[in-house]
Amino acid sequence: MDWIFFLIALVAIYAIAAYYIHSKDLWADHIVFYGPIMAIRSRRVGFFDRFARFHRFFRVYGTCGAVIVIIVSAAMVGLLLFSLYLNLMNHPEPTAVNDIRNILAIPGVNQFIPFTVAVWFAFVFTLVIHEFGHAFLARVENLKVSFIGVLVCVIPIGAFVEPDEVEFEKLHGLPKIRMLGAGITNNIVAGLACFFLLILLLGFAVPFQTPLINSVYKDYPADRAGIVPDSVVTSINGIQVTSQTEVATVLNTTRPGDQVVIVTEKDGIASTHTLTLDSWPQNMSSKQSGFMGVTYYDAYGIKQIFASPFGFFVMLAIPVYIILDPVGWGQFLILVNDSPDAIAWSVPFPGYWFVIQLLFWCAWFNIMVGLCNAIPMIPFDGGHIFKEGVDRLLDRRGLIRYSGCVVGAVSYVMIVVLISLFVLPLLLHM
């Protein structure tokens, strides 16, 4: 498979470069290694001192964020345990989600994350937003920030802020929780802000009824005649058509068994097809007219769904379900990557869809990173927040010595649950 060779090449290049840098002790002040992970760091952290002047605002912000993080953390635990229960009860079939390459959040390798400029920008933006949260709350809590940097293991896997260790160990209670939760808070706030801007900007796109074919029913007239998805119907029996309504008007005059000549266009190339129409399937319609066997791209429906109260949840599901159900969810591809569906929209300015994709991925990455980081499992931020809470709770009762055991046990349970969600469908259907 192409992605395997690409991944092997990427790992090999990284391994050679990392070995050379480590063996020659190059840029020792700026590059350190934690096993195979390369940390590229800088001492230029004076920028974060500016936030200390607004300590009242940021402490309120951090406190509200800490409450949100605790709620999200509890919700994530419940969701994961419920998902595991459903897996055990229903024995779902393995899907692309269970493919090993999709564990890796590498654009172009992971099926759900395309290799685009918008994706990489959003990826880096999410890391920066997260770590800046830790950094400015550290300064607000009078913690010295020693380093800021990026963690790399083949690809950037995270960013980090390194506060002074001695000062950090002295910090306890709510101030520490505020600092630990600031990254998650920033991600959730940034994700929701990007989602709001996305909805706002989508309001300027005007959907058309362009007769753009979204899917073709197998073994029906259009399929037998060689009509393919992403084609635009331009004429039927010599009658020019420019909308789905006009196509329906012409076809409503036909009967099953009638022969029609349809001209389609794709990528600027026109094709002529002769079809013998079928009857409509009983579960679809009671129409007496002829049935061609296609569905059309529904720009109006997409706009309504995304602007609905469920639009947020649809957004989170889009990257996964486009792969799992390309026919049904493929109509949302235009929000994720370049798509021929753009011809079914009128947009306010050039590069509009790139901006939409940028906002989509910034929203998606920030929300997903925020949710995942809230899981109470070391080394996630949620795990460190949980540890601080357990430390304070047990310390009051003179039981602080058991804190590590409690936090470790919960972390292992979360790890087992996460691994089980991935491997159970594979094991249950071996």
Domain range annotation of the chain: 27-199+364-427, 213-296
Q: What is the dihedral of CA 215, 356, 316, 370, to 10 degrees?
A: 160
Q: Which tokens go with 80? A: 């994961």
Cα 358 to Cα 191, 248, 363: the distances in Å are 12, 36, 9
CA terminus-to-terminus distance, the chain: 22
Q: Give me Rg for the CA atoms of the chain.
A: 27
E strands, 237-365, are 239-240, 259-266, 269-276, 294-296, 345-346
Backbone angles phi, psi at 8, to 5 degrees: -60, -45
pLDDT of residue 357: 94
Q: Is 390 helix (H, G, I), strand (E, B) or coil?
A: helix
The SS3 assignment for 236 reads strand
Mean pLDDT, the chain cut into blocks of 10 residues (430 residues total):
70 87 83 80 76 82 89 91 88 76 71 86 88 82 78 73 76 85 92 92 91 91 91 93 92 91 91 91 82 90 82 82 78 86 91 94 92 86 89 87 89 88 78
Evaluated on CA atoms 387, 392, 393, 394, the torsion sign reads positive
Q: Give pLDDT, residue 39.
A: 83
- CA gap 429, 371 in Å, rounded: 30
Domain spanning 213-296: CATH 2.30.42.10: yes
Q: Which two tokens stand for residue 268?
A: 């600027």
Contact (CB, 8 A) for 183 and 373: yes
Distance CA 248, CA 237 (A): 13
The whole-angstrom separation of Cα 5 and Cα 139 is: 45
pLDDT at 194: 94
Closest C-alpha to 250, from 238, 236, 264, 261: 236
